[in-house]
A = this chain, B = another copy of it.
Amino acid sequence: MGKKPLDSNAAATERLRAAGLRPTRQRLELVALLFAGGHCHMTAESLHGAARAAGAQVSLATVYNTLHQFTAAGLLRQVVVDAARCYFDTNTGDHQHFFVEDEGTLIDIPGDSIAVAGVPPPPKGLSVDRIDVVVRVKRS
């Protein structure tokens, strides 16, 4: 009857295995934090803080490594909205974001509510990888 139910641990292990990553203690802890509740937007710094707060012993370097590995494996998506910081989104599906400039926080916009039309064909030799929409909002 530990704090962490075995199923959640098993699920995390399987998730890592599927991504071709070894289920190490650190990765399991980070997976637990990232995919426990609903979707979330994390920075390396904030995830590291959350891990430490949860009593996990993980170095910042490992958090960076892990975030990048997860992104490469398609478990996370990187969101660039702020020159200062880099966000990682546990929602890898089709969607966009509000960015609250005053707070530096992100809010999801479902992909089926938003539509971008009239994108010209990219220049010769280039193909569209992804279209990102950022709705910058301010306190009014």
Instruction: Tell me, yes or no, whether A122 is within 8 Å of chain B by CB.
Output: yes
Instruction: Tell me, yes or no, whether A24 is within 8 Å of chain B by CB.
Output: no
For the complex, count residues of A whose C-beta is within 8 A of B: 37
Write the nearest CB–CB distance from A112 to chain B, whole angstroms: 8
A119–B135 contact, CB under 8 A?
A: yes
B138–A129 contact, CB under 8 A?
A: yes
Within 8 A of B (CB), among A99-118: 100-101, 107, 109, 113-118
B114–A109 contact, CB under 8 A?
A: no
B128–A135 contact, CB under 8 A?
A: yes
Partner of A140, one of B120, B125, B140: B125
Residues from chain B with a CB closer than 8 A to the CB of A113 are 118-120
